[in-house]
Every structure is written in structure tokens, then in C-alpha cells.
Amino acid sequence: MTIFPLAPLKIGKITLDPPLILAPLANISIPATRIMAEKFGAQLTFTEMVPTAAIFRGIDRAIRLIAPSNKNKPWGVQIFGNDPHEIEFTANYLAQMKVDLIDINMGCPMRDIVRNGSGAAMMKTPKLAAKLVEAACLGVKGKIPITAKIRSGWDEKSINAPEMASILEKAGCKMITVHGRTRSQIYSGKSDPYIISEVVKTVGIPVIANGDIFDPGSAERILKITKAKGIMIARGSFGNPWIFRDLKNLLQGKPLLPPPNPLHKLTVLKMHLEMLKKGNIHPKRKLTEIKKHLAWFSKKLTGSNKFRKDIFAARDLESIEEMIRNFEKQFSSS
């Protein structure tokens, strides 16, 4: 039995039709990348995780991360922290900024974050995690939904995503995204769809499946196993906004389209470059960020190994643009 079209998902004031989400991604989820994902079919995007301790103290660098993407699209903000007062303050501040949804990060595996008891360390402290959700709900005064993004557990001996999700639901969480890896796995091994399906069976709120979705086949598999209400994509979108076009068609039960040809890819790459150039990225990081995206976009194209090597060696934007023009010639003349 086909599961497509997947039903639209209503969360707070927004409806995701289809429920196709770009994951929060540190250093990547800037407006340019989110807008590109939306143009290709993502229905909800998030900022990268924003530290509530820095928002509470009014640190400009953190406040700038809260940028919306496109004014007509839902504005998701992901936050992390371990202090209920800072979470309540930030949630209240974000509600006044009229964001559409606040997600609390309970899955980040990075040492600096978990050492502070934040991110994936929350998987070990469900009571504190619930307090954070309650504090965020208090902060937004019911105006916008609070959601959470969790992992399957801290390590293989302590898989607790279903219990955790149930505790978070009782605390007021309105949607849960589950990445089917433990914190110990970081990004190694495989994401386990069966633990996500256990979460779906345990809670009444919508569950979003995340982990290892790289194409329509993997999306279909995870949805069939988990019966989740939607999917979230991270690494599969790097240099590949077409994944949203393909997954949108899949979820809506429409026929799939052929992959883009090289010239089409490069034209989108140049459009993305223009958006990145104008984007609100720290000047010191701009060139590095641009190089990263160009390398992803050019992957699998003929001659891309040399192109990538040259790009990473480039010292300024002008030489990068010249390299793109030269790289493009081989495709435009064919």
C-alpha cells in the first residue's frame, strides 16, 4: 500500500504541505542556503542552533543568527542551552520577533556543547530536558509551538528516545524530530529507523524522521518503517537543493524528474554564490563558506577534482569567479 501522498502537517499557525524540512545546520543554515532549499521545495527551514546563554546576555553575534529566510516562508529557530531561565527569556524574545516555531536542540554531539550539559547530553537528563520545554512554553505564552530534536539515546546501552519523547510531550512539546543515531555514534554507522518507529508508537504528537535520507529511495524506506509524519534532511542537501524537488514530488505522489544536467547545476551554483556574496556572513568566514558550497555543488561533475583543488587554493572571490567561468566552458560547449 502506498503511503503517498503524505498528509499535510499543521504545526502552530503553519501547515507543511508536504512535511519536508531542511535540518538546522551549524555554519550552513544561513538565509541564502535556506532560501535555496525553499525554492526547490523545502516547506520549513531552521536557523542553526543559537546559544540561549548568548541571547540572554545580548551578544550581537548570536542575535544575528536568528535571521529569517524568505518573509513568506515559515521561520524556524533552533536554540540550545541548559538553563531554564535563559530558555524562557529566549523563547519570549523570539515570540516577540514573531518566529513561527522554536526547536530545542537535544541532539548535538559536539564535545563543547555536551560538556555543558546541553545538546545530546539532554538525553541523559530527561527531567532537565522537560524543564527546558516547560520554560520555553512559559516564555512564548502559548503563542508559538515548542518542538525538540533528539537522538536515539546517549549510547547503545542507553537508548531512550521513546521515553524521552513521552516526557517531552507531557512537558508541552508539540513535535519531535528523531535522528536515529546515539550521541556516541556522532555521524558514524547507520541511523536506526526502528527506534524512530518506537517513538511514533509512543507519543501522540507528530514525529519527524531524520537520518541518512539522501534520495527518494531512502526517504520512502524511512517513512514506510517509521510511519513518521514528515522528514528532515541535512547532509543530503549539501550542494544538492534538487533533493527537495525530488522529495516534494515523492511525498505528493507525483512522478520523479531526471537529475539536473551539468549546465543547469552550474547555473544554480552561480545563483547560490550571488546569494552567499550578499549574505550576512562574517567577512572573515565568507570566503571559506563560499568555497565549501562550491565544492559540494561541483561534486560528481567532470573535472571537479581539479576545480575543487583550485577553489580551495584561491585567495579571493575574483579568482574563484574566474575559475567558475573556466570550469563552465567545458559544459556550455558540449
Ligand X SMILES: Cc1cc2nc3c(=O)[nH]c(=O)nc-3n(C[C@H](O)[C@H](O)[C@H](O)COP(=O)(O)O)c2cc1C
The site for ligand X (CB under 6 A) is made up of 23-26, 28, 48-49, 78, 105, 107-108, 149, 179, 210-213, 233-236
List of residues 6+ apart from 302 with CB closer than 8 A: 262, 330
Closest by alpha carbon to 117, among 136, 102, 103, 132? 132
Which of 56/238 has CB closer to ligand X? 238
In the complex, minimum distance from the CB of residue 267 to ligand X, in angstroms, rounded to a whole number: 25
Q: Return d(Cα 309, Cα 313) in angstroms, integer.
A: 6
- Per the residue annotation, which of 99, 108, 120, 231 is the catalytic one? 108
Cβ proximity to ligand X: between 113 and 200 the closer is 113
What are the residues whose beta carbons fall under 8 Å from the beta carbon of 99, sequence distance 6 or more?
Answer: 66, 68, 75, 76, 77, 144
Closest approach of ligand X to the CB of residue 24, in Å: 4
Strand partners, 80: 51
Nearest-approach distance from CB 179 to ligand X, in angstroms = 4
Q: For residue 70, give the nearest of 45, 101, 51, 52 by alpha carbon.
A: 45
For residues 119 and 110, the answer to whether their CB atoms sit within 8 Å is yes
d(CA 107, CA 191): 13
DSSP class of residue 124 equals G
Kindly tell me which of 149 and 272 has the beta carbon lying closer to ligand X: 149
Q: Which is nearer to ligand X, 145 or 262 (CB)?
A: 145
Contacts for 137 with CB less than 8 Å, ≥ 6 apart: 91, 146, 171, 172
Is beta strand 14-16 parallel, antiparallel or unpaired with respect to 20-22?
Answer: unpaired
Phi, psi dihedrals of residue 218, rounded to the nearest 5° = -70, -30
Least spacing, CB of residue 212 vs ligand X, in Å: 5
CB of 211 to ligand X, least distance (A): 5
| Distances in whole angstroms, Cα of residue 312 to Cα of each of 36, 192, 232, 317 | 23, 35, 30, 11
Based on the residue annotation, tell me whether 108 is a catalytic residue of this protein.
yes
Closest approach, Cβ 334 to ligand X, in A, equals: 33
Which residues form the catalytic set?
108
